[in-house]
Amino acid sequence: MHMRNLERRVHVLLDESRYRKVAGEAERRRVSVGAVIREAIDRIPADADLRRSAIAQILAAEPMPVPAHPGELRRELDAAHERAG
């Protein structure tokens, strides 16, 4: 991206730890702090993209048996969350 394509200026205040993090990444990649921040913004998916992705993942999931009783389902979900940590 060239500077001539940029139209808006934003003033952002960062605490020291966040600044060190973004400045370190900029130095590592040999780009400006602004470039690191712009690229991070570009990686944020639009809401519609998130919804489409979630729907696609749900539709692509393998069918699985579901307990008939809600209490049993709750116990299974709780156990799964505990295993996942």
Q: Which of 16, 34, 17 is nearest to 26 (CA)?
A: 34
pLDDT computed for residue 3 by the predictor = 65
pLDDT computed for residue 21 by the predictor = 98
pLDDT computed for residue 85 by the predictor = 79
d(CA 17, CA 67): 48
Name all domains of the chain by residue range, CATH numbers in brackets.
Answer: 1-61 (1.10.1220)
Write out the E strands in the chain. Answer: none
d(CA 14, CA 18): 6
Structure tokens at 44: 């944020």
pLDDT in 10s for each residue of the chain, 85 residues: 566 788 999 999 999 999 999 999 999 999 999 999 999 999 888 888 889 999 999 999 999 888 889 999 999 999 999 999 7
pLDDT computed for residue 65 by the predictor = 87
